[in-house]
Amino acid sequence: MKNLISKTPVNFIFLLIVLVFPLIALAEEITDSATGQANEYLTPDRMTKEDFVMLNEYSASYNQCLSETSINQMDTQSDPRIVVDFAMKLCATHLEELNQKMIDRNYEPNFRESYIHRISNRGANSTLRIVMMGMAANQSKQEPQQNTAE
């Protein structure tokens, strides 16, 4: 019985530490964010010319990757959606690099996410139109040859 009593305070203190420590850490995080850490984010109104250039360069490199990859895939696939999907997966590294650069520069999270989402959507839509026109042009070139062979 004496052994159980001597272990109880130790167990109680250990349990108290395990339960309270995460709450203390959470309280510190809440206090840090409430004291103005949000003001340190880089927002569009505080961006420099170099920031805009960086964003434009990554956007252009992503779009170029989509175009080149899609053009190379058009001959191997008959569905333009599959071509663009393949290109988006292959070129996703450009967006991942941009996301990391924006995190490193401390861009505001909502702006960062929406900007990358917008680049991805615009690139996909633009590339899909180009691929569909290219496939239609290729198909129209092949049809007259098929008609003359009959």
Domains of the chain by residue range: 1-36, 43-139
Confidence check: pLDDT of 88 > 50 = yes
Do the beta carbons of residue 105 and residue 42 sit within 8 Å?
yes
Reference 97, options 147, 62, 144; nearest CA is 62
Do the beta carbons of residue 40 and residue 106 sit within 8 Å?
yes
Reference 70, options 139, 125, 142; nearest CA is 125
Beta-carbon neighbour count of residue 112 at 10 Å?
19
Classified as helix, coil or strand, 36 is coil
User: What's the chain's average pLDDT?
Assistant: 81
Q: What whole-number distance in Å separates Cα of residue 77 and Cα of residue 135?
A: 10
* Predicted pLDDT at 64: 97
Reference 41, options 113, 94, 125; nearest CA is 113
* Predicted pLDDT at 8: 60
Q: Over the stretch 16-68, which tens digit does the pLDDT of each residue have?
A: 454 544 545 444 555 445 555 545 899 999 999 999 999 999 999 999 999 99
Residue 16: C-alpha distances to residues 19, 105, 135 (Å)? 5, 39, 67
* Predicted pLDDT at 56: 97
CA atoms within 13 A on the CB side of 141: 6
pTM value is 0.68
